[in-house]
Amino acid sequence: MLLKGKKAWAPLSSILHRQQRKSLFSSSSTTLRFPITTAHQPKYPSPASYNPETCGASSSSSIITTTRSHHSLRISWKSFCSKAETPRCWSCKALPHAAPFLVCDDCRTIQPVDPSVDYFQIFGLEKKYEVEDGNLEGKYKAWQKKLHPDLVHSKSEKEREFAAEQSARVIDAYRTLTNSLTRAIYIMKIQGVDVDEEETISEPELLAEIMEIREAVEEAPNSKALNELKDLMQKKLQLWSDSFANAFQSQKFEEAINCIRRMKYYSRVNEEIVKRL
């Protein structure tokens, strides 16, 4: 059995359960502190047309732009990448069958993390704010079944490390994408827009509203009252999430950042309510 001996990792089922619970009921403060320092990352073509594994992460975005905007001069991605070392499975040397290349399709060996593969690509999603794939949870579980460190406990130390890193990254990707606030911050980040999370809101109206809600939370007599406040926060979050989607779609990034700040406030109050329930 795989689970024999001293177990350094929590069983897969408990991890899945734990992550699911977290992502469904709260916006984790850990994910809120996701570093948003990257100034600019290149915009890649959609996962369907671009295999990040076949070309170096930093291979210029300008090349992609050129080939995309001048169709007559289109040069295949592959020919540009031909000089770059094509990543192969570190164990059996096979080429990846498809992106993303987290596990070798031939020998099932777990590959090292490739930071150029973004969270949307991990789940084969279009890079847009509204996630329409109803099967995201299924895809997440499928990855964990292939990557969970329990599965490689008898393999080399190198592969165990890769498993731990890949598994943690997939968890982070799932958490980030299933929470509207962290997803908004993340998509801005990969678009090259920094969101200063420490910047506070100075609008007196919003501050007054937040204070009022906080008071209501503190004075809530029972869980029914708290649940009503929670519903209210969910509605506010949804409203500002929709506004963010529109602002982001039209590339109005200032407006989008404003929406994120509001979402953050409502999300915090929501967390406080959840703690009291």
Residues that bind Zn ion (CB under 5 A): 89, 91-92, 94, 104, 106-107, 109
Shortest distance, CB of residue 109 to Zn ion, whole angstroms?
Answer: 5
Nearer to Zn ion, 92 or 208 (CB): 92
Shortest distance, CB of residue 110 to Zn ion, whole angstroms?
Answer: 10
The count of C-alpha atoms lying within 13 angstroms of the C-alpha of 73, restricted to the half-sphere facing its C-beta, is 9
Whole-number Å distance between alpha carbons of 134 and 140: 12
Nearer to Zn ion, 4 or 97 (CB): 97
Shortest distance, CB of residue 93 to Zn ion, whole angstroms?
Answer: 7
Shortest distance, CB of residue 91 to Zn ion, whole angstroms?
Answer: 5
The count of C-alpha atoms lying within 13 angstroms of the C-alpha of 28, restricted to the half-sphere facing its C-beta, is 19
Neighbour count for residue 83 (Cβ, 10 Å): 9
Shortest distance, CB of residue 94 to Zn ion, whole angstroms?
Answer: 5
Whole-number Å distance between alpha carbons of 19 and 11: 12
Whole-number Å distance between alpha carbons of 99 and 55: 12
Shortest distance, CB of residue 74 to Zn ion, whole angstroms?
Answer: 32
Position 44, amino acid? Y
- For residue 134, what are its two tokens? 């109803």
Whole-number Å distance between alpha carbons of 33 and 135: 26
Nearer to Zn ion, 117 or 171 (CB): 117
Whole-number Å distance between alpha carbons of 68 and 42: 14
CB 76 within 8 A of CB 55: no
List of long-range contacts for 97-102, beta carbons under 8 Å, 24+ apart:
98/51, 99/47, 99/50, 99/51, 99/52, 99/53, 100/47, 100/52, 100/53, 101/53, 102/143, 102/146, 102/147, 102/166, 102/170
Nearer to Zn ion, 146 or 214 (CB): 146
Shortest distance, CB of residue 90 to Zn ion, whole angstroms?
Answer: 8
Neighbour count for residue 113 (Cβ, 10 Å): 16
Position 3, amino acid? L
